[in-house]
Structure 1
Amino acid sequence: MLFYTFGYRFNFERGIFIYSGSISIKSNPETVDIRIDNELIPQKKLGILNRSIHIGGLMPGEHFVEVSAPGYSTWSKKTTVQSGLSTEFWNVLLVKENNPPEVISGTAHALKIFQAREQGLLAIAKKRENVLTVDIIDTNAKTDVQVFSLENASLPTDGEGEENIEWSPDNRKILIPVEQTGKHMYFIVDIANKHVISLDDIAQSKVANIIQNPRWDPANRDFILYRGGNVLYRIDAGATDPTPLFVKENVRDYSLSGQDIYYLSQDNGIVYRIPAGSIDTKPTQITTMPIIMLSDSPYILILYDDARLTIREQKTGKLWVYNRISPSRIIFKELVEKDAMGVQFSDDGKKLLFFTNNEISVYFVRDWEAQPIRKNDTIIQIARFSSTIKNIVWAQDYEHVLFSLDNNAKIIELDNRDRRNIADFSTFPSPLLQILPRFDENFIYFVSSANEETDTVSREQFTKKTGLLGF
């Protein structure tokens, strides 16, 4: 009895006492049934602490773990328990089954939705009979107001799909990209009064260059940053007679983080930083080595902060990563030779999701201490399919990835011990155009293609609020 109390178990095959191991599980939902080697563990034997379940007294060796709950998908893995150690599964996700999404009314002919910072507020781009419209929908107040309409127009594509409608930081205005009769244009819409002005008119009346990549200025209300050729400008879109202001020249691409502007220099292929509120400040060099740039291809700069960023060459899909792990350890290398379609940093900056049309992978920017432990500067492939995969985005725990495959919305875990659990959480009558996570609202939004007058935007609350995804 004393040996048993201290965690020892008798091995009848070997005729000796062996120090046992344990398994620790954090699941969403939290109330689950757990089976070890197909044997249901009674609830009274489950040790529960800080929302984790502890199963002790397990003989060292291989075991089969199964987590289930009525109305949810089942999660399972083979694992090896070691003497005196706890094997941890802290990101076990069960997806609701037979859980039809809630349809958002007034969304027939939707192409894409764009979230504001305010919960429940969405801009929805629609296309019907060659007319592009934009509605503002408040899912909390149940209101739907059209604020923009233009004939013979569509959302332009940027190599990754349609360009984004961008909300101003205060949610008062939206910036809409438009393609009309071969011309690329941008419009600014005041949500309250539906007043529309052309960014091209107020900028090109003074500067005869094509506007590219306009973004709301993070440091100045109503100001917009944009590129005209390889020159970066700033303009006050709220002024009566605005004049474009020069910011920097020889800018191949730029991005924003916090109150700073980062740009890729056309001259030398190096990334620099300047404060958005003080553009005359001497630029700070960020990357340590230049990249060789093609003259006929756009480049896309995506960053988390000045220590973590990516550069993607759009024509071939080549992808570089810059990762300053410490002052003495800086990594700047080619991550993908070709065909990279997009990247997304996790919210904590420790992981980088990147993908092609058929593969999903993760690069570990920082050490990941939870089991399974991963070291920084390592890559794991998450999934590979023969069919085209789309709408790849992080789940909020950064240990799951959402994506669509034809008509199915799926979620897959990063944990590759034994095998990866993958689940369908919704199936639609037509292919999905978009998956938009709004974890601050407890919803995943979907846009599916449909004919005639069918509403095409829906949302699903597929996990409980107390779980590890924040629901």
Structure 2
Amino acid sequence: MSHGKRQLIVILLVAIFAIVAPTVLLFASGYSYNWHKHRIEKTGILYINAEPATAEVYVNGKKIRGSIPVSVPRLLPEDYLIEVRLSEYFPWSKTLTIKSGQTTFAKTITLIRNVLPRLDWRAEVTNSTFSANASAVAYIATNESWSELFHYDLKTKQTLLLARFGQDKYSKLDLHISPNGSRILLSAIDAITRERIVIIYKAELGSTAVELKELARLSAVRWSWSVDSSILALLGPTGLIFVDNDQTVRRQPLALNAVRDLMFGNRSLWLLSETVNSLKLFQASLAGQDALEIQIALPTKNYRFVSGNDRLLWLNDSGNKKGLAIRIDDLSWRQTSEIQDIRWEQTGDNGRLLLWNDFEIFLFDPNKSDEPSLITRLGTPINDVAWHPAGTYALFTTATGVTAIELDGRDHRNIVRLVEFGSVDSVTINAEEKLLYFIGSVGNQRGLYERPL
């Protein structure tokens, strides 16, 4: 080989190395050429985790190999359509943006079963309420002659008849069940005397019901269950009434005037007492002592308790359409949008809250934000809201159905219509078994239904 040819080969090898080496180094460093933008860009990574883990993942229509959770590397910075599919489940999709040199996460994907509800039992239910732990439902059912109060254990599938009365005996019937499902508060107006009837039942054979006759003249009943359901506290004409778990009744006089409401929170009982110019918050003793005043000035006199746990007391002023959140540890407070009810993700000192009023649902995480964020706004009244067991959806009930709306608001919120019925009343979620229970009717079949999630 001539000297000139050898020089040419060396020059070519050097040129190839000069071109290939930087390309390899750029590729190894996560860079790639973007043919759409005609430039070299640092790529990003997409991380996907979903439940069930047997689902299939597609990125821009291309199936991604590998089991969930899965990482998709070397994606150019742009928008990608992510789809997660599985037979007999509703699909999930979202367009996410991959950013240069960063990892985009989609790790809270939950697929929901595409199945029909199943009827557990039929009954002409007129009133119903589920326990907070989804262990039981209390309901009133009517037949040709009677109205009957039942307790139904959702785990053992056992039904217990607690009371029977004529269909016309009471009006304005109201049921409330303890958080653990063991006791039931019935409030109603006697059709003849027009006096209020308040009775507490315990869901045990042979247990004696407790009637609180001193509440007969009250226009409304204010009550609260302790978190462990061991105490039911009510406002009486002259003080507090406590009904313990064994149905023992204790009465505690109060030296306060115009007590308007009460609520358990952080193992204490809190009272709202109205004065001439303000509404004050008090902490009541459960040991027979006088209430202890807490110096906190509330913005208006119209607030009433909505809910409470170890961290927060939540109040609402329906007249001014304002909510109020009070931190129990330092009694600081903030005003929010109007809130009619709350669902706590957890009952302790962690977890998020779902808040709602007639037409809006909010998500609030006290550990990350000072303000609730709007999840959805509807044109149809919202009757109830519940947490999906995975914490990724809010389930809300309207008069004719149950809908799940995704909490991840990037791109769009996936929405799944779970139930489309003639009517839907109370609902609950069994988190362990991932079951939705509800009282509803379709056609002439009314009763308790369940639907896997």
TM-score (norm 1): 0.77
- Name the counterpart of 1:465: none
Is 1:423 the equivalent of 2:416? Answer: yes
Q: 2:239 aligns with which of 222, 228, 231?
A: 231
Q: 1:18 aligns with which of 25, 33, 41?
A: 41
Given the superposition, is the C-alpha separation of residues 14 and 213 from structure 1 closer, same or farther in structure 2, using an over 3 Å criterion? closer
Amino acid at match of 1:144: T
- Name the counterpart of 2:298: 290
User: Quick one: percent identity of the two aligned structures?
Assistant: 18
Q: 1:244 aligns with which of 251, 267, 274?
A: 251
Shift of 1:73: 1.3
Shift of 1:253: 0.8
Q: Does the Cα contact within 8 Å between 1:156 and 1:179 map onto a contact in 2?
A: yes
- Name the counterpart of 2:188: 178
Shift of 1:402: 0.6
User: 3-state DSSP class of the match of 2:221?
Assistant: strand
1:82-110 per-position Cα deviation (integer Å, ceiling 9, x unaligned): 1121111222122221x122321254435
Aligned partners of 1:281, 1:225: CA distance in 2, in Å? Answer: 15
1:152-190 per-position Cα deviation (integer Å, ceiling 9, x unaligned): 256747xxxxx4422386x65433223432443221224
Is 1:386 the equivalent of 2:379? Answer: yes
Which aligned pairs between 1:69-88 and structure 2 lie closer than 5 A? Answer: 69-88=86-105
Q: Does the Cα contact within 8 Å between 2:125 and 2:447 map onto a contact in 1?
A: yes
Aligned partners of 1:142, 1:378: CA distance in 2, in Å? Answer: 42
Aligned partners of 2:156, 2:179: CA distance in 1, in Å? Answer: 21
Is 1:341 the equivalent of 2:340? Answer: yes
Q: 2:401 aligns with which of 386, 408, 411?
A: 408
- Name the counterpart of 2:19: none
Given the superposition, is the C-alpha separation of residues 105 and 414 from structure 1 closer, same or farther in structure 2, using an over 3 Å criterion? same
1:212-242 per-position Cα deviation (integer Å, ceiling 9, x unaligned): 2244567995x642112473333568578x6
Which aligned pairs between 1:27-38 and structure 2 lie closer than 5 A? Answer: 27-38=50-61
Aligned partners of 1:116, 1:461: CA distance in 2, in Å? Answer: 19
Aligned partners of 2:409, 2:179: CA distance in 1, in Å? Answer: 40
Given the superposition, is the C-alpha separation of residues 309 and 142 from structure 1 closer, same or farther in structure 2, using an over 3 Å criterion? closer
- Name the counterpart of 1:302: 307
- Name the counterpart of 2:317: 313
Amino acid at match of 1:40: K
- Name the counterpart of 2:221: 212
Q: Does the Cα contact within 8 Å between 2:151 and 2:159 map onto a contact in 1?
A: yes
Q: 2:63 aligns with which of 8, 25, 40?
A: 40
User: 3-state DSSP class of the match of 2:212?
Assistant: helix
Q: Does the Cα contact within 8 Å between 2:364 and 2:371 map onto a contact in 1?
A: yes
Q: Does the Cα contact within 8 Å between 2:55 and 2:84 map onto a contact in 1?
A: yes
Aligned partners of 2:137, 2:247: CA distance in 1, in Å? Answer: 26
1:9-32 per-position Cα deviation (integer Å, ceiling 9, x unaligned): 233455654321112222222221
User: 3-state DSSP class of the match of 1:212?
Assistant: coil
Given the superposition, is the C-alpha separation of residues 216 and 424 from structure 1 closer, same or farther in structure 2, using an over 3 Å criterion? closer
Aligned partners of 1:86, 1:38: CA distance in 2, in Å? Answer: 20
- Name the counterpart of 1:114: 130
Aligned partners of 1:90, 1:17: CA distance in 2, in Å? Answer: 29
TM-score (norm 2): 0.80
1:362-401 per-position Cα deviation (integer Å, ceiling 9, x unaligned): 344330xxxxxxxx12332222222333222232444421
Amino acid at match of 2:76: M
Aligned partners of 2:196, 2:116: CA distance in 1, in Å? Answer: 38
User: 3-state DSSP class of the match of 1:249?
Assistant: coil
Aligned partners of 1:323, 1:236: CA distance in 2, in Å? Answer: 27
Aligned partners of 1:245, 1:69: CA distance in 2, in Å? Answer: 59
Amino acid at match of 2:75: L
Q: Does the Cα contact within 8 Å between 1:232 and 1:249 map onto a contact in 2?
A: no
Amino acid at match of 2:178: W
- Name the counterpart of 2:5: none
- Name the counterpart of 1:332: 334
Aligned partners of 1:243, 1:17: CA distance in 2, in Å? Answer: 77
Shift of 1:407: 2.6
- Name the counterpart of 1:372: none
Given the superposition, is the C-alpha separation of residues 58 and 134 from structure 1 closer, same or farther in structure 2, using an over 3 Å criterion? same
Which aligned pairs between 1:424-443 and structure 2 lie closer than 5 A? Answer: 424-428=417-421, 430-443=422-435
User: 3-state DSSP class of the match of 1:71?
Assistant: coil
Q: Which is bigger in relative contact order (C-alpha 8 A, separation at least 6)?
A: 1
Q: Does the Cα contact within 8 Å between 1:436 and 1:444 map onto a contact in 2?
A: yes
Which aligned pairs between 1:120-135 and structure 2 lie closer than 5 A? Answer: 120-129=135-144, 131-135=146-150
- Name the counterpart of 1:166: 177
- Larger-gyration structure (1/2): 2
Q: Does the Cα contact within 8 Å between 1:103 and 1:457 map onto a contact in 2?
A: yes
Q: Does the Cα contact within 8 Å between 2:306 and 2:340 map onto a contact in 1?
A: no
Amino acid at match of 1:445: Y
Q: 2:203 aligns with which of 183, 188, 191?
A: 191
Given the superposition, is the C-alpha separation of residues 249 and 194 from structure 1 closer, same or farther in structure 2, using an over 3 Å criterion? farther
Shift of 1:445: 0.6
Given the superposition, is the C-alpha separation of residues 135 and 324 from structure 1 closer, same or farther in structure 2, using an over 3 Å criterion? closer
Give unpaired runs (5+ residues) of structure 2.
1-23
Given the superposition, is the C-alpha separation of residues 57 and 145 from structure 1 closer, same or farther in structure 2, using an over 3 Å criterion? same
- Name the counterpart of 1:280: 289
Given the superposition, is the C-alpha separation of residues 14 and 103 from structure 1 closer, same or farther in structure 2, using an over 3 Å criterion? closer
1:273-293 per-position Cα deviation (integer Å, ceiling 9, x unaligned): 3453x352762627x432322
Aligned partners of 1:61, 1:195: CA distance in 2, in Å? Answer: 66
User: 3-state DSSP class of the match of 1:270?
Assistant: strand
Aligned partners of 1:186, 1:325: CA distance in 2, in Å? Answer: 31
User: How many equivalent residue pairs?
Assistant: 422
Aligned partners of 1:179, 1:56: CA distance in 2, in Å? Answer: 67
Q: Does the Cα contact within 8 Å between 2:160 and 2:203 map onto a contact in 1?
A: no
Which aligned pairs between 1:354-369 and structure 2 lie closer than 5 A? Answer: 354-367=355-368
Q: Does the Cα contact within 8 Å between 1:73 and 1:423 map onto a contact in 2?
A: yes
Shift of 1:211: 7.0
Is 1:138 the equivalent of 2:153? Answer: yes
- Name the counterpart of 2:73: 56
User: 3-state DSSP class of the match of 1:386?
Assistant: coil
Amino acid at match of 1:420: R
